[in-house]
Amino acid sequence: MRLGLHQSARMEQRLIQSPQMIQAMQILQLPALDLVERIEQELNENPLLEKSEGGPEGGAESGFEGAGEGGAGESDPSVLDARLSELERFDRDRWADGRPARYSDDIDPKHEALQNAENQPKTLGEAISEELALSTLDDQAREVAEYIANSLDDRGFLGATPEEVAQECGVAGATAETVARALADLRHQIHPALAARDLRECLLLQLDAHNHHDSLVHEIVERHLDDVITNRLPRIAKATGRSLDEVVQSLEVLRSLDPSPGSSYAGASAAAITPDVLVEEIDGDYEVRLNRGTVPTLVLSPQYKEYLKLARKGEGERDWVRKRLESARWFIDAIQQRQSTLLRISEKVFAHQREFLERGVRGLKPLRMQEIADEVGVHISTVSRAVSGKYAQTPRGTLPLKYFFTGGTETDDGEVESQASIKQRIAELVSKEDRSNPLSDDQLAALLHEQDRIQIARRTVTKYRKALQIPSSTQRKTF
């Protein structure tokens, strides 16, 4: 066998994604609030960008011609050199005093915005810490209580024994007795079951606090909680030797208790949803538009374009300004492209889903992202990025844009019913059932075929029921 070297040539195509293309895709995917945050970041980093005070119609180039004319010293080379040198130091000095160099000492817009912003919702730990300010605990126990408050999960559970807390809290000299005093104070001030280790202890603590001494209730919580969760009441009656009526009465006591003490106390609220798309009914028709009140319009600063014109060739200042000018233009173009793409896609979506706007969920039509991509003339991945995390405010409520993309099932009449519409029908049938004899998934499938001419398998009904978080017929049964 002979070894040798040889050359060969071949042609191939590769898609090279430039940094600008990557930036445009990232911006397309950002929901409104995240985009506003990204814009603020860019404003801090690039002094050639400004927010437009004239609204969306103000073009990015509108303020350039003649910028700086008539200003004292604007065309003086020494003044320009000094200002351009100051610009060059922008990157390395802008955070030297704790705030961006673009802001003056007198006015800090971000500080002003923070001052005027709504209070952020507190975490459970923060809310409890405020209550501890009124506590009579000694310093050591108070530190332990602070540790416990900040170690709770969303339900208000701790999941650790007093001995484990004493070892892990980092408070000098803390013992299990110190932890017990801290827990007693928290439970007295806030909730009798706060910092329980699990659901069982949570319920038992509340029974003791409310002086419920019924032995059957305690026995059910201590030994048969799994059967309660799965609604196997006859099994509990047999195991305890009590009647089914007695078991049912005991469950009424348990239903009066709080299984999640943290959620009832925490001041935290769900984050507000800011829709990117607005759909309004106007004279019997529907108008689809972007929520322009959220995303500010950006323009290039006319002041710095004048600097670029007059900067001397061959000096670093000119390159510095040129790079930031290019970056600013790309950023503005990326936002404009996002807005245009999102609007075109939204218009096509609601053209398909007009019946939803008129009738609600029963009017929702099956729709695939590929259909919208073909109509708009973009790749399906662009549609996916454009609708990701975005919401539309419609006459039927504020919903994720992805909600309007759904599969469907063909009826006996040849129509196609959307998954969302079928789910709603399942929820309606369950809401009207006899709770002492709830509908099985087979029965739900039969009723959908009988009443709505929808041919659907039992396993599909099960899948949709679980997606709706509807328990099985066994768990829904009442006694």
- What is the pLDDT at residue 299? 87
| pTM of the model as a whole | 0.54
Structure-block tokens of residue 53: 């005070």
CA distance 149 to 155: 12
Q: Which residues pair with 450 in a beta bridge?
A: none
Task: Find out whether 24 and 337 touch, Cβ atoms under 8 Å.
Answer: yes
> Rounded to whole angstroms, what are the CA distances from 151 to 129, 182, 260, 376, 432?
12, 13, 15, 50, 43
Homologous superfamily assigned to 408-476: Homeodomain-like (1.10.10.60)
- Residue 291, C-beta contacts closer than 8 angstroms, at least 6 positions apart: 32, 274, 275, 276, 277, 278, 393
Strands 285-290 and 277-282: antiparallel
- What is the pLDDT at residue 320? 77
**Per-run averaged pLDDT (10 residues), the chain, 479 residues:** 58 55 84 91 87 54 34 43 45 40 39 42 67 80 87 86 89 91 89 91 92 89 89 90 91 90 60 85 92 86 68 65 84 92 95 91 87 92 90 92 77 62 84 86 87 84 86 83
Nearest by Cα to 456 from 405, 406, 408, 403: 408
- What is the pLDDT at residue 312? 57
User: What ranges do the domains of the chain cover?
Assistant: 124-265, 408-476
Structure-block tokens of residue 178: 């110190």
DSSP state of 58: S
